Amino acid sequence: MNISLGTPPFPIVAIADTGSDLIWTQCKPCTNCYKQNAAVFSPNSSSTYKTVPCQSSACDSLQIEYEASYGDQSHTKGDIAVETLTLGSTVGPRRHVAFPKMVIGCGHDNAGTFSPKGSGIVGLGGGSVSLVTQLGPHIGGKFSYCLVPSSAAAEATSTLSFGQSAVVSGNGVATTPLIPDPSQPTFYVVQLEAVSVGSKKIPFHGSTVGETSSGNIIVDSGTTLTLVPTDFFTQLSSAVESQVTGSNKTTDPQGFNNLSLCYESGPKLKVPSITAHFKGADVALTMENVFIKVSDTVACLAFYGNDDVSIYGNVAQQNFRVGYDLQKHTLSFKPTDCTQKFF
């Protein structure tokens, strides 16, 4: 997502991640930074940048020097600061809205699987330092996104909305409860009851997320594949394999072990209808939600067997408006052509 930090505003392109909280960018001096295409943010060039003194409340969660790691073993280390953050606006006469004294991380040691196209992460989780929580009353606990499919043209961009414009409503909306858990405030947890492959309905018994949650899967914009327990994955992949027609099985040319069911892609490949049955919400998935193209000629099932944690990844969320209402504790899905702008 596009944001700006500092005064004057310095443009940043960062990963929008509902599975983490901290807003951070690579910062000068870069003692150990990954290569990024854009210029690196310099705190000395901003008149509103201030490091956080350790007696502040922000230290309770991250300390003045922070260290954060992610599920793919990527990490960031640096200083906690307060800074002005600017977002684009579609409401009112102003094209941009500035939010002063936002808690951010200024990363001097960052490494992992980060793309050179981006320069940090914007945490959209439920914790105290996430962008969603810090925007607070400005957005009424509401945000949504619409992720363009991987097959979309290069110039197509996904949309992220906050406040009243983020409400997902109208025909075709499926809504399921968000299940809060004080022991895991970052994660957006829901209950997945089953997945149907054609007429075969496979019950889902994911591990409970957190200490007090009855939910069993995390919805995460920052994870690509959908991670499910290995026994469920075995049943799911077998059901899919038995109903795919028009194409030959093959292997992932990139050799990733986590993509185990692959086919020659093309117009003849026909996959069964697949529906995710969340509590109170049936979400019908398209082929682009279920299979991911790993080359021009190969598509693989975008699910992965994993017994540590269950995650509903971003491939499954493509071409849906996914709306979070943190006041009503609901998550909504609406099938949408995300290449079209709707405001």
Active site residues: 17, 220
Residues in the chain: 343
Question: 3-state class of 287 per DSSP?
Answer: helix
Indicate if the alpha-carbon torsion angle 146, 149, 150, 154 is positive or negative: negative
Indicate if the alpha-carbon torsion angle 333, 150, 85, 52 is positive or negative: positive
Strand partners, 45: none
Question: 3-state class of 244 per DSSP?
Answer: coil
159-162 and 330-335 strand pairing: unpaired
Amino acid in the structure at residue 342: F
State the alpha helices, DSSP H only, in 38-184. Answer: 59-62, 131-135
The two tokens of residue 48 are: 């509103």
Query: If residue 330 lies in a helix (H) or strand (E), which one and from where to where?
Result: strand 330-335
Of 261, 250, 199, give the one whose Cα is nearest residue 225.
Answer: 261
Indicate if the alpha-carbon torsion angle 130, 41, 150, 256 is positive or negative: negative
| Cα(163)–Cα(92) distance, integer angstroms | 13
| Cα(87)–Cα(11) distance, integer angstroms | 10
In contact, 238 and 247? CB cutoff 8 Å: no
